[in-house]
Structure 1
Amino acid sequence: MALALLDYLDSVKERDPAARSRWDVLLYPGVWALGLHRVAHWLWVGKLYFLARLVNHFSRFMTAIDIHPGATIGRNFFIDHGFTVIGETANIGDNVTIYQNVTLGGTNPSTGVGGKRHPTLRDNVVIGSGAQVLGPIEVGEGGKIGANAVVTKDVLPNTTVVGIPARPVPVDLVHYSPGFVPYGTPCGEDLDPVRARLAEMEEELAALRRELQALKAREADLPEVKAS
């Protein structure tokens, strides 16, 4: 148990350069919110719904983070800062990072049946501050949601989406931001989707010009055909 806690604190420290020690991490509201959620979820699974809600209410008061007791959360989950809402049927994998003011919100199914209403986040997902991830969608492993994005459709694995509505960023992120990407949003002008698309079009135009020049050169080398 102690080793698991130390591993968790170290995983948070790796993702937050502001943390100077494990003691620092122990004071983070996201760490407290997760610990209290573990208790609330255990009570919820045991059908002690009122007690689970009571723990949830206390946790929300203490941390400004609202995690429904029914939400399922994997290992090394980290909420950096507060004011985050996670719904009842949300399913979160391992090593997921969420920044402040994020909502994993639900939809109201037209059938009126509760069912799966909230998102599923696979392992190693990063969600930037202010993002809204809505409905029973899936964010694939290694997916990144940019700050203030509104996501209503599935996100493919190892894909970064930005904007309202969220769309994939058409660049190779490994080139710009290797390793962990804070806030799910690699920085730099080269990450602007319009600039990236313009760069791609310029490369395509240059390639077409080279092909045209090669064709002209071949035509110039051909012998002239005399009319009979």
Structure 2
Amino acid sequence: MAIYCGIAYRRKSFWCYRLLSTYVTKMRYLFELKEDDDACKKALQTGAFYLFHNLSPMLQKSEPQYLVPKYSLLELERLLGKLGQNTQRIEDSVLIGCSEQHDAWFALDIGLNHSSSINASLQKPEMETELRGSFMDLRKAFLQLNAKDVSLLSTAQALLRWHDAHQFCSRSGQPTKKNVAGSKRICPANNIIYYPQVKVWKRQSGGKLQKKWDWR
């Protein structure tokens, strides 16, 4: 009996160590992307994009839930080109996470006007027709999304909202510029760095989702 207990304990310890190791590796990779613009630019080439329009995520109905579509860089460039938009708009994307295989995830709001955007915001109806989905209020779709998607979309929405509200320096009044990952904004006039502090949905130990302050 003691032998079986010992084997079970070692197996459990192994899987706990593996999960912890995977988590640490992901966090290190995300930290690298946030601090290294060149690394983040490289990750953009193979990353996946979640689309928003005025802070409402693109969702596709699949009974009884909503699906959250992801788009590659090539698909996004084709979409913007088809709608007469400059692909420079992709630079407004913000890093929101990555997979265990280190495939980076980004969020892009094509309805908000940013200081770096050349074109005006895209119209919602034509985008929904082209993408075969709907830009929905996250609160209305909340109960029809799985917990993982809720957490990810909540993080993306909060970061996009923060960037939209901090386009200008509170001291100099000059436009701020975000780094590639969107983990900070810098005022070129005085080099003040602004870091986002956002409220995101997080899963607690009991499986319940709760909104908490988080630094990004």
TM-score by length of 1: 0.24
The structure with the greater share of residues assigned to strand is 2
The structure with the greater share of residues assigned to helix is 2
TM-score by length of 2: 0.25
Higher relative CO (Cα under 8 Å, sequence separation at least 6) belongs to 2
